RNA sequence: GCCUCGGUAGCUCAACUGGAUAGAGCAUCAGUUUUCUAAACUGAGGGUCAUUGGUUCGAGUCCAAUCCGGGGUACCA
């Protein structure tokens, strides 16, 4: 039983003994005591006065007195208005630190046997990854680490949108203007190579459009349909669907280039997938599922032949699941892939990391599957995140290069190298070690910048200003770890056991232990809320508190041997949790920087 | 129009899900190196928590209305 449960349980017992009432543990509000007051944990007694029928102060006094008598580690208390601040004995906290220090798997929970399939990234194969994918990839990877730490068996999957009119545009442009060039021959990264042809297609379509006399709406998506280039592209899509050998061959070649390019970026970012899905293989699936739904009377066939699901009772609209001509829409195949994954993995949760533009889509998907009678559909969760915007508004892939993921990453790495050199931090490093450090710091800065924000909030990203290395940033936390590592190198022969002989703790030591003791709650909360920012903000406060401790008190030169042991043990544990916490964010920490 | 998500310091973000005097970083100003890594630490200034009303011991947090911004409301993906 952990601390909070113990305190709540004791409070419940006291209320039963004193007043003969059963209160629920929800009625007991327990917080960490605010810094300006003395105490470690605080019970808010206002919710309890309706049971005690006494004033808040009287209730708090009574509860404080009884808790002190009942729990041996409650050393004292004070009451301010309706707040009961409890102080614990130093030996309680020292034992707590001892217990955590000897538990190597502190903060990771035993395997629950529950399975999760987590889909993230979801790129199109006609263009390179952009900043939106960056947020997606960081969130997805981090979420998988957090779920693993919570005992889930996680399978990461990716889905490639590798078919349709967009990739055909790249293909048509390549046929016309490519001259059999390749990524190898041009030295361009594969996904950018293919993306360049997509851009070329748009340029050429615009040129052609200007020569046309036909009426224009001003909306390019609409107007482009009048061009011969578009007609040619549509024909190519038909050929593709018919399985035309030449078309398929080119399509495969282009995809190969793109995958190669993507893989380089995945490697650089250290993200991975256990299984890839391809839309080209799933886009025709799902019709049987829709038919089955019609038979079960959950879906309806309209007079025009289209199949719809009526979600007006659920506060949504009618949604088409199959076109009147019998062909699929987006959601048709999603129904199928969901069933497929369930068969394949038999999961308890299925998480989709997808931008919030698709909130509606995933509501419909989940409801449709539930109405089909799939109990497992209750485990579907859409991890929805908001867009990344530039200070002047939404990043558009057509305007400027700032939205491109690879450009962004290399810019961050460049800044990291520059700053690190300025500070002369790589003295004594080999060239490889230095390069590795730049990468660790640069990616740490970027990942942390993205993950510290709650997913449903949009991020304003200014390439020039957002990547910082001071204050509430990844490198600050990495630096704190490097400091701890330096201490540990010097104290490596010290036997830390026995620090619990100490009688007193100073305020900062106590604060650090309380924070360390909270770590496991944070790991739990991050999984429950599907929110890596919980971990990000926690690790920051841990690092911040440690830096204050480091600054205010000598560690290796502490005045007594026991104190030194305690401070080294505190350092070791802080370093450990920074490392573990950052790993949950997909960020590595250096031992020197 | 309807649905949905946002709006907190000049800027970027927190606020333990209804608790105490709303906290951090950046930027600005002023300090701290003979001692364990100054990418650090200390201090100062900076707030009508979009607005109005309500609920209660207590509201940035819940409810209602309004304003601003994003997204959705496709037989696009």
A71-108 residue pLDDT tens: 999 999 999 988 999 999 999 999 999 999 999 999 99
Residue nearest to nucleotide B33 (CA to C1'): A551
Report which secondary-structure segment, H or E, holds A343: helix A330-345
**pLDDT, position A390:** 77
Domain boundary among A242, A273, A304: A273
Domain boundary among A215, A238, A273: A273
Domain span at A236: 164-273
User: Domain check: are A168 and A75 in the same one?
Assistant: no
Domain membership flag for residue A254: yes
Residues of chain A with pLDDT under 70: 1, 393-402
Q: Name the nucleotide with the smallest C1'–CA separation from A324.
A: B75
- Count of CB atoms within 10 A of residue A542's CB? 23
Here the tokens at position A472 are 């509430």
CA of A389, C1' of B77: distance in angstroms:
21
**pLDDT, position A494:** 87
| Interval A442-462: pLDDT, tens | 999 999 999 999 999 999 888
Domain membership flag for residue A327: no
Residue A10 DSSP label: H
User: Domain check: are A418 and A509 in the same one?
Assistant: yes
CA of A378, C1' of B58: distance in angstroms:
37
Q: How many domains does the structure of chain A reveal? A: 3
CA of A52, C1' of B57: distance in angstroms:
15
Pairing relationship of beta strands A41-44 and A83-88 according to DSSP bridges: antiparallel
Domain membership flag for residue A124: no
User: Domain check: are A569 and A426 in the same one?
Assistant: yes
Q: Name the nucleotide with the smallest C1'–CA separation from A302.
A: B75
CATH number for the domain harbouring residue A532? 1.10.730.10
Q: Name the nucleotide with the smallest C1'–CA separation from A548.
A: B41
Residue nearest to nucleotide B19 (CA to C1'): A44
Q: Which residues contact A353 (CB under 8 A, 6 or more apart)?
A: A118, A119, A120, A121, A122, A136, A139, A140, A143, A383, A385
Q: Which residues contact A385 (CB under 8 A, 6 or more apart)?
A: A135, A136, A139, A353, A355, A356, A455, A456
Helix axes A533-552, A561-584, angle to 10 degrees: 160
Residue nearest to nucleotide B24 (CA to C1'): A472
Domain membership flag for residue A380: no
| Interval A396-427: pLDDT, tens | 544 444 588 999 999 999 999 999 999 999 88
Q: Name the nucleotide with the smallest C1'–CA separation from A393.
A: B70
User: Domain check: are A473 and A580 in the same one?
Assistant: yes
CA A382 → CA A353, A360, A481, distances in Å? 6, 10, 34
User: Domain check: are A184 and A75 in the same one?
Assistant: no
**pLDDT, position A402:** 56
ipTM of the complex: 0.96
Q: What angle do CA A125, A130, A134 make, to 5 degrees?
A: 110
User: Domain check: are A538 and A424 in the same one?
Assistant: yes
CA of A216, C1' of B72: distance in angstroms:
27
CA A334 → CA A283, A308, A340, A379, A482, distances in Å? 9, 15, 10, 15, 46
User: Domain check: are A567 and A480 in the same one?
Assistant: yes
Domain membership flag for residue A589: no
Q: Name the nucleotide with the smallest C1'–CA separation from A163.
A: B77
CA of A47, C1' of B8: distance in angstroms:
27
CA of A477, C1' of B30: distance in angstroms:
26
CA of A366, C1' of B25: distance in angstroms:
40
**pLDDT, position A401:** 44
The model's pTM: 0.95
Provide the 3-class DSSP secondary structure of residue A466: coil
- Count of CB atoms within 10 A of residue A299's CB? 22
User: Domain check: are A177 and A83 in the same one?
Assistant: no
Q: Which is it for the CA torsion A295, A298, A304, A305, positive or negative?
A: negative
CATH number for the domain harbouring residue A64? 3.30.1360.70
Q: Name the nucleotide with the smallest C1'–CA separation from A456.
A: B5
Residue nearest to nucleotide B42 (CA to C1'): A548
**pLDDT, position A212:** 84
CA of A112, C1' of B22: distance in angstroms:
39
Domain membership flag for residue A333: no
Residues facing A31 on adjacent strands: A42
User: Domain check: are A169 and A256 in the same one?
Assistant: yes
Contact A474, A451 (CB under 8 A): no
Residue nearest to nucleotide B32 (CA to C1'): A551
Domain membership flag for residue A367: no
Residue nearest to nucleotide B7 (CA to C1'): A457
Residue A328 DSSP label: B
CA of A185, C1' of B24: distance in angstroms:
50
Calculate the CA A51 to chain-centre distance: 42
Q: Name the nucleotide with the smallest C1'–CA separation from A472.
A: B25
User: Domain check: are A168 and A20 in the same one?
Assistant: no
CA of A568, C1' of B58: distance in angstroms:
43
Which bases of chain B are contacted by protein, using any atom under 7 A from a CB? 3-7, 11-21, 24-27, 35-42, 57-58, 70-77
Domain boundary among A239, A273, A307: A273
User: Domain check: are A474 and A571 in the same one?
Assistant: yes
**pLDDT, position A214:** 73
Residue nearest to nucleotide B69 (CA to C1'): A393
Q: Name the nucleotide with the smallest C1'–CA separation from A356.
A: B71
**pLDDT, position A403:** 81
CA of A72, C1' of B42: distance in angstroms:
37
Q: Name the nucleotide with the smallest C1'–CA separation from A85.
A: B20
CA of A238, C1' of B74: distance in angstroms:
22
Q: Cα dihedral angle (A523, A528, A529, A531), rounded to 10 degrees? A: 40
**pLDDT, position A102:** 93
CA of A153, C1' of B30: distance in angstroms:
54
User: Domain check: are A412 and A538 in the same one?
Assistant: yes
């Amino acid at each position: 039983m952990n601390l909070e449960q113990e305190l709540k349980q004791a409070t419940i017992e006291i209320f039963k003994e004193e007043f003969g009432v059963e209160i629920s543990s929800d009625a007991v509000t327990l917080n960490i005591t605010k810094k300006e007051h003395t105490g470690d944990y605080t019970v808010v007694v206002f919710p309890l006065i309706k049971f005690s029928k006494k004033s808040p102060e009287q209730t708090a006094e009574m509860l404080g007195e009884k808790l002190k008598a009942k729990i041996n580690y409650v050393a004292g208390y004070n009451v301010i208005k309706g707040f009961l601040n409890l102080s614990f004995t130093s030996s309680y906290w020292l034992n707590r630190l001892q217990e955590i220090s000897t538990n190597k798997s502190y903060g990771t929970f035993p395997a629950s046997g529950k399975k999760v399939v987590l889909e993230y990234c979801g790129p199109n194969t006609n263009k390179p990854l952009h900043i939106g994918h960056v947020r997606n990839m960081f969130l997805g990877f981090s979420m998988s680490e957090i779920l693993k730490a919570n005992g889930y068996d996680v399978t990461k999957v990716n889905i490639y949108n590798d078919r349709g009119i967009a990739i055909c545009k790249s293909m048509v442009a390549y046929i016309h203007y490519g001259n059999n060039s390749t990524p190898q021959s041009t030295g361009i990264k594969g996904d950018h190579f293919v993306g360049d042809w997509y851009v070329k297609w748009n340029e050429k379509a615009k040129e052609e459009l200007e020569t046309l006399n036909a009426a224009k709406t001003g909306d390019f998506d609409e107007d482009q349909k009048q061009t011969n280039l578009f007609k040619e592209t549509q024909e190519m899509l038909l050929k593709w669907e018919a399985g035309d050998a030449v078309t398929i061959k080119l399509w495969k070649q282009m995809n190969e280039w793109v995958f190669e390019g993507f893989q380089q970026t995945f490697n650089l970012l250290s993200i991975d997938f256990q299984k890839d899905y391809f839309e080209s293989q799933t886009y025709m699936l799902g019709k049987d599922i829709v038919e089955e739904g019609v038979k079960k009377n959950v879906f309806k066939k309209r007079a025009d032949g289209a199949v719809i699901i009526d979600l007006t009772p659920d506060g949504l609209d009618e949604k088409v699941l199959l076109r009147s001509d019998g062909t699929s829409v987006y959601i048709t195949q999603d129904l199928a892939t969901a069933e497929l994954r369930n068969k394949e993995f038999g999961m308890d949760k299925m998480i989709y990391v997808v931008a919030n533009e698709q909130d509606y889509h995933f509501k419909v998907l989940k409801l449709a599957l539930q109405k089909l009678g799939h109990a497992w559909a209750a485990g579907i969760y859409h991890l929805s995140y908001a867009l990344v915007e530039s200070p002047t508004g939404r990043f558009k892939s057509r305007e400027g290069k700032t939205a491109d993921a690879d450009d962004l990453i290399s810019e961050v790495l460049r800044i990291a190298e520059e700053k690190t050199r300025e500070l002369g931090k790589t003295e004594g490093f080999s060239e490889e070690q230095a390069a590795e450090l730049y990468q660790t710091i640069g990616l740490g800065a970027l990942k942390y910048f993205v993950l510290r924000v709650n997913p449903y909030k949009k991020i304003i990203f200014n390439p020039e200003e957002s990547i910082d290395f001071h204050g509430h940033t990844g490198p600050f936390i990495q630096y704190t770890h490097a400091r701890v590592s330096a201490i540990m190198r010097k104290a490596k022969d010290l036997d830390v056991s026995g620090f619990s002989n100490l009688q007193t703790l100073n305020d900062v030591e106590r604060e650090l232990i309380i924070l360390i003791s909270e770590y496991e709650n944070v790991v739990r909360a991050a999984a429950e809320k599907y929110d890596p920012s919980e971990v990000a903000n926690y690790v920051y406060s841990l690092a911040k508190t440690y830096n204050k401790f480091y600054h205010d008190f000598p560690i290796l030169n502490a005045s007594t041997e026991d104190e030194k042991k305690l401070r080294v043990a505190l350092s070791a544990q802080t370093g450990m949790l920074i490392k573990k916490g950052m790993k949950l964010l997909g960020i590595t920490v250096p031992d020197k920087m």
